[in-house]
Chain A
Amino acid sequence: MSELWFFFEVLLSGMFAGTMYSLVALGFVLIFKASGVFNFAQGTMVLFAALCFVGFLEMGLPMVVAALIAIAIMVAWAFTVERLVLRHLVNQEPIILFMATIGVSFFLEGFGEFIWGGDVHPLNVGIPDDAWFVGPDGAMMIQQFDLSAAVIAGLLVTVLALFFHYTRIGRALRAVADDHQAALSVGIPLNQIWVIVWSVAGFVALVAGIIWGSRLGVQFSLSIVALKALPVLILGGFTSVPGAIVGGLIIGAGEKLAEIYIGPFFGGAIEEWFAYVLAMFFLLFRPQGLFGERIIERV
């Protein structure tokens, strides 16, 4: 009986943990969907946004002001990236854009540390951090922090998914991802589009950064966390906003269950690769990820 409770506890907390990955993955998806750019810098943006936020907090600014300034900085960043990088790489192959974002990521990482230093910054924005216990003598524990994170992720995803599907801009974004040149030729302003998505991605990064930062402190290892967003992203499909959430849930729950129930047979720490292998098996059945757009193969 208590085994069963334990199972559900693992399942649930795994799913919550997964939504944290989703938050990072979401930023990737936005930019990929809107420009076909595989944005390697998203992890660094999470870190940078959080650093800015926490930096202003430490200067004694009120939370709202700090958040607003951080958002403003992310928008300015979006402008910079568009001006100095993307604009010059219109219509290049995806791998080259990918590479450029790696350059951007390095720059931002150096810049962030340059400005804010390499220390760990504790962050507390007042997300409730207690646990509820349910079941016979608290057999199952639900952490409020995780729950809050999951709710925020869910909200963001819903809003963004609606935005992509039902607005004129959303359609234009998808067009850009398909063919930069054709998008230009029908009058879609790539520059503005890019600034918009990078700004939105910056905002998502800030949210993700604040949540992660509240758990771990804002520090450079956050950019390592971002790697885990990759299997989530791939499993859900690069182009799907809801996919980021579902991918996160599956990866989160899958790897926790695997670690606990299969891990011991292999000496543990299988979490490190399990997510990728899980994603790979999903891909064997759906090469475009769970919710990704069908890969068009025609001659």
Chain B
Amino acid sequence: MNAPEVGGAVQRTFGEPVLTLENIGLGFGGVKAIDGVSFEVRRGEIMAIIGPNGAGKSSMLNCINGFYKPQVGTITFKGRTMPAMDPHFAASNGIARTFQNIALFRGMSTLDNLMTGRVLKMKRGFFWQALHWGPAQKEELENRAYVEHVIDFLEIQAIRRTPVGRLPYGLQKRVELGRALAMEPEILLLDEPMAGMNVEEKQDMSRFILEVNEEFGTTIVLIEHDMGVVMDISDHVVVLDYGRKIADGTPDEVRANQQVIDAYLGVSHD
């Protein structure tokens, strides 16, 4: 970024850690994707994970929501310490995420994609569903109302009924964020939410993230390669390189860290 630095993160204070990862290690055959990484995520903060390509960032998120099972280490979430997260436990306890290679349900409309985010909130069984009437319809409408809030919030009204496979990349990312938000998450994991967007769209996206964080107190963990965004919006940055943690601190601390500059930022990225 060659533009002058403005603003910068305001120092905010946060509550207790909601998610603690300790000494996580994950390997695939010969490749060590993550190697003894520990960090904490505090309630209500926006945390960023950065690092060069292949450093293990996405793998880290995969461990947090249970898609990968680390071979060593423990994860503590909601007072429960376990060697690996279970995906269903994670989802039903408020961990939602977006994916680096968009993982939307391509054959379904935007609305339906968002509604799948509400699956865990809907309980009516087969019988009512088959009738689509009475309690099932009531439940459907309540959840629809929530989803419509999300749609309004993300300003994607116009594409409500479009099959997401047809949407351009950037909008797909936004729909994916919507699906995660529809889950009413406590922790939102975002894997490169702004890849493939122009500045204006990144600004929109930042605004959505900040608003979610401020209004609902949602804790956010994000991976991003745009240092402008990361430094501006995050409260806390963890830097990975070759699967190891090389720095952990506020954006300013990290920015100044020589190891980080060497491994990732390259020459003085302001």
Contact = CB atoms under 8 A, between A and B. Distances in A.
A/B touching: CB–CB < 8 A: yes
B99 interface: yes
Contacts of B103: 299
A271 B9 CA distance: 71
Nearest to A299: B99
Contacts of B101: 298-299
B67 interface: yes
Contacts of A298: 101
Interface string B93-108: 0000001110100000
B62 interface: yes
Nearest to A298: B101
A299 B60 CA distance: 12
Contacts of B67: 299
Contacts of B58: 299
A298 B99 CA distance: 10
A299 B99 CA distance: 6
Interface in A281-299: 298-299
Interface in B49-71: 58, 62, 67
A179 to B, nearest CB: 13
A299 B62 CA distance: 8
A9 B67 CA distance: 49
A216 B129 CA distance: 54
Contacts of A299: 58, 62, 67, 99-101, 103
A210 to B, nearest CB: 44
A62 to B, nearest CB: 56
Interface in A250-299: 298-299
Contacts of B100: 299
Interface in B70-125: 99-101, 103
Interface string B162-189: 0000000000000000000000000000
A299 B63 CA distance: 12
Nearest to A297: B67
Contacts of B62: 299
A49 to B, nearest CB: 38
Nearest to B99: A299
A299 B58 CA distance: 9
A81 B62 CA distance: 44
A299 B57 CA distance: 12
B268 to A, nearest CB: 34
B109 to A, nearest CB: 19
A251 to B, nearest CB: 31
B120 to A, nearest CB: 19
A94 to B, nearest CB: 15
B221 to A, nearest CB: 15
A299 B176 CA distance: 13
A299 B101 CA distance: 7
Contacts of B99: 299
Interface string B1-42: 000000000000000000000000000000000000000000
A298 B62 CA distance: 10
B259 to A, nearest CB: 29
A283 to B, nearest CB: 22
A299 B98 CA distance: 10
A194 to B, nearest CB: 26
Nearest to B191: A299
A299 B103 CA distance: 7
Nearest to B65: A299
A298 B67 CA distance: 9
A298 B101 CA distance: 9
B126 to A, nearest CB: 27
A299 B65 CA distance: 12
Nearest to B61: A299
A298 B58 CA distance: 10
A182 to B, nearest CB: 14
A294 B58 CA distance: 21
B166 to A, nearest CB: 15
Nearest to B62: A299
Interface of A: 298-299
Given A299-B67, A299-B100, 6 more contacts: A298-B101, A299-B58, A299-B62, A299-B99, A299-B101, A299-B103
8 contacts: A298-B101, A299-B58, A299-B62, A299-B67, A299-B99, A299-B100, A299-B101, A299-B103
Q: Which 7 A-B pairs have the closest CB atoms?
A: A299-B99, A299-B103, A299-B67, A299-B62, A299-B101, A299-B100, A298-B101
